Chains A and B, each alone.
Chain A
Amino acid sequence: MSSLERSDVARLAALARIDMTDADLDRLSGQLAVIVDAVAKVAEVAGEDVPATSHPIPMANIHREDVVRPSFAQDDALAAAPEAEDGRFRVPQILGEEA
Chain B
Amino acid sequence: MTDWTRKTAAQMADALAAGEVTSVELVQAHLDRIAAVDGTVESNSVHAFLHIDAEGALEAARAVDADRAAGVELPRLAGVPIGIKDVLVTKGLPTTAGSRILEGWIPPYDATVTRRVREARMPILGKTNMDEFAMGSSTEHSGYGPTRNPWDLDRIPGGSGGGSAAALAAFEAPLTIGSDTGGSIRQPASVTATVGVKPTYGGVSRFGAIALASSLDQLGPCGRTVLDTALLHEVMGGHDEMDATSLNEPVPAVVEAALEGAQMDLTGVKVGVVRELSGADGGYQAGVTQRFEESLDKLRAMGAEVVEVSCPSFEYALAAYYVILPSEASSNLAKFDSVRFGKRVEKATVEKTMLATRAEGFGDEVKRRIILGTYALSAGYYDAYYGSAQKVRTLVQRDFDAAFEQCDVLVSPTTPTTPFKIGERIDDPLAMYLNDIATIPANLAGIPGMSLPSGLAPEDGLPVGFQILAPAHEDARLYRIGAALEASLTAEWGGPLSAQAPELEVAE
Contact = CB atoms under 8 A, between A and B. Distances in A.
A50 B394 contact: yes
A62 B241 CA distance: 9
Contacts of B392: 42, 45-46
B446 A56 contact: yes
Interface string A66-79: 00000010001101
B256 interface: no
Contact of B319 (A1, A42, A51, A61): A42
A72 B108 contact: yes
Q: Which of B316, B342, B364 has the most CB of A within 10 A?
A: B316
Interface string B359-388: 100101001101110111010010011011
Interface string B6-17: 000000000000
B350 A76 contact: no
Contacts of B461: none
B371 A96 contact: no
Contacts of A41: 316, 319
Nearest to B243: A62
B387 A17 contact: no
Contact of A45 (B216, B313, B347, B370): B313
Contacts, number: 190
Given A16-B371, A34-B430, A46 B245 contact: no
Interface stretch (B135-143, B144-152, B332-340, B498-506): B332-340
B391 A96 contact: no
B344 interface: yes
Contacts of B356: 19
Contact of A32 (B108, B338, B372): B372
Interface in A8-47: 8-9, 12-20, 24, 27-28, 31-32, 34-36, 38-47
Contacts of A12: 371, 374-375, 378
A19 B355 contact: yes
B351 to A, nearest CB: 7
B348 A93 contact: yes
Contacts of A79: 106, 108
A80 B95 CA distance: 12
B374 A16 contact: yes
Interface in B129-180: none
A53 B394 contact: yes
Nearest to B102: A80
Interface in B418-453: 429-430, 443-447
A89 B342 CA distance: 13
A92 B388 contact: no
B372 A18 contact: no
A36 B384 CA distance: 11
A81 B341 contact: yes
Contacts of A28: 364, 367-368, 371
A36 B372 contact: yes
A17 B355 contact: yes
B446 A57 contact: yes
Given A45-B392, A57-B245, A80-B108, A16 B344 contact: no
Contacts of A83: 344
Nearest to B343: A82
A56 B247 contact: no
Contact of B359 (A4, A20, A62, A89): A20
Given A80-B105, A94-B350, A44 B316 contact: yes
Given A42-B389, A82-B338, A32 B371 contact: yes
A59 B248 CA distance: 10
B391 A56 contact: no
A89 B339 contact: yes
A57 to B, nearest CB: 5
B215 A55 contact: yes
A36 B429 CA distance: 12
Contacts of A36: 372, 375
Contacts of A91: 338-339, 350, 353
Contact of A35 (B320, B343, B372, B443): B372
A92 to B, nearest CB: 5
A42 B200 CA distance: 25
Given A52-B394, A54-B215, A17 B354 contact: yes
Interface of B: 105-109, 200-202, 215-216, 241, 244-245, 247, 313, 316, 319-320, 322-323, 330, 334, 337-344, 346-356, 358-359, 362, 364, 367-368, 370-372, 374-376, 378, 381, 384-385, 387-395, 397, 429-430, 443-447, 472
The 5 A-B pairs with the shortest beta carbon distances in the complex, nearest first, are A56-B446, A52-B390, A82-B344, A46-B388, A19-B359
27 contacts: A1-B384, A9-B371, A12-B378, A16-B370, A18-B371, A28-B371, A34-B429, A36-B372, A39-B389, A42-B391, A53-B390, A53-B393, A53-B397, A54-B215, A55-B215, A56-B201, A57-B245, A61-B244, A77-B340, A82-B343, A82-B344, A89-B340, A91-B350, A91-B353, A92-B346, A93-B350, A96-B349
Given A72-B109, A79-B108, 6 more contacts: A19-B355, A45-B313, A45-B391, A50-B391, A55-B245, A77-B340
